[in-house]
């Protein structure tokens, strides 16, 4: 396929129009939201972007759309919800609404609680064709102490019961942000709004298999492409800014794919 393992400097709708139908297994992305930052003053045509995303997504493919809301004159814009509804209107199934919780957030408002999360809308074209659930360790190292009923001796004995050592994670994912959190790659911070490498990697591992194609229409500093390469997936993407595309290409070029993937070791 044209542009495979490339990051191209282009506006995303015109870029997607060059891609064939049903070719993308996962789109892992975060749009510029509410003109919160100045991306050369470009206004997003979200409806058409989502329409094109639907066309290029493979049957059972997934789009992970990471977005938060700006506050304008004390009023949350709710752009995130409006965009989520656009996904359903375009034909996507809203498979899950997940939360990206930030571990270290600066204090922001004097009359409201500090916002510490963004939404991760997980939209799929039909039912997802791939789900590799990520696991986390259960508490107490896989054991729990239970009180069992008194026996004939009248004493309350305790028994150590073995639990499963791990369980499937829930849908609130927490990440440290900033240098050493999102990434330790200093170059990436020339971009003002990156998402954590681990967040991208966790979704890539969850919704794709080795050699699947991962797309990011708002590639920014190249986090999605870098983590696709690390995890031995193919990547493709674009960004409207030539400066960011250069940063992204350098980051990906400096990346070595992982020798072992967790699915292969299991």
Ligand X SMILES: C[S@@+](CC[C@H](N)C(=O)[O-])C[C@H]1O[C@@H](n2cnc3c(N)ncnc32)[C@H](O)[C@@H]1O
The residues that touch ligand X, with contacts defined as CB under 6 A, are 11-12, 30, 32, 39, 42, 191, 193-195, 217-218, 220-221, 223, 238-241, 244
- Minimum CB separation of residue 24 from ligand X in Å reads 15
- Minimum CB separation of residue 238 from ligand X in Å reads 5
User: Helix 242-253 and helix 223-230: axis angle, to 10°?
Assistant: 20
Nearer to ligand X, 119 or 218 (CB): 218
- Minimum CB separation of residue 135 from ligand X in Å reads 25
Residue environment code for 56-78, b if the CB has 16+ CB neighbours within 10 A, otherwise e: bbbeebbbbbbbbbeeeeeeebe
- Minimum CB separation of residue 129 from ligand X in Å reads 24
DSSP H or E stretch at residue 12: helix 12-17
Q: Which residue is nearest to ligand X (CB)?
A: 220
CA angle 70, 72, 73 (to 5 degrees): 145
The 3-state secondary structure of 174-200 reads: EECCCECCCECCHHHHHCCCCCCHHHH
Nearer to ligand X, 191 or 233 (CB): 191
Nearer to ligand X, 148 or 193 (CB): 193
Nearer to ligand X, 188 or 213 (CB): 188
- Minimum CB separation of residue 157 from ligand X in Å reads 54
Nearer to ligand X, 128 or 217 (CB): 217
Cα gap 209→248, rounded to integer Å: 23
């Amino acid at each position: 396929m044209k542009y495979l393992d490339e990051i191209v400097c282009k506006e995303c709708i015109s870029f997607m129009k060059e891609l064939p139908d049903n070719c993308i297994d996962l789109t892992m992305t975060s749009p510029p939201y509410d003109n919160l930052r100045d991306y050369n003053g470009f206004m997003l045509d979200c409806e058409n972007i989502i329409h094109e995303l639907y066309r290029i997504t493979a049957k059972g493919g997934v789009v992970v759309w990471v977005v938060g809301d700006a506050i304008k004159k004390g009023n949350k814009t709710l752009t995130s919800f409006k965009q989520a509804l656009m996904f359903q209107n375009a034909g996507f199934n809203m498979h899950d609404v997940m939360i990206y919780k930030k571990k270290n957030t600066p204090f922001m408002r004097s009359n409201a609680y500090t916002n510490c999360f963004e939404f991760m809308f997980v939209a799929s074209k039909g039912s997802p064709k791939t789900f590799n659930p990520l696991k986390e360790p259960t508490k107490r190292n896989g054991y729990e102490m239970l009180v069992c009923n008194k026996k004939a001796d009248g004493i309350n004995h305790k028994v150590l019961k073995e639990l499963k050592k791990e369980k499937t994670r829930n849908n609130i994912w927490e990440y440290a942000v900033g240098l050493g959190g999102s990434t330790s790659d200093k170059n990436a911070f020339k971009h003002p709004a990156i998402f954590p490498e681990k967040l991208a990697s966790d979704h890539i591992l969850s919704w794709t298999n080795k050699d699947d194609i991962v797309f990011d229409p708002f590639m920014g500093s190249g986090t999605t492409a870098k983590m696709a390469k690390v995890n031995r997936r193919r990547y493709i993407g674009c960004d409207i800014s030539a400066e960011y595309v250069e940063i992204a290409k350098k980051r990906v070029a400096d990346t070595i794919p992982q020798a072992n993937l967790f699915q292969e070791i299991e």
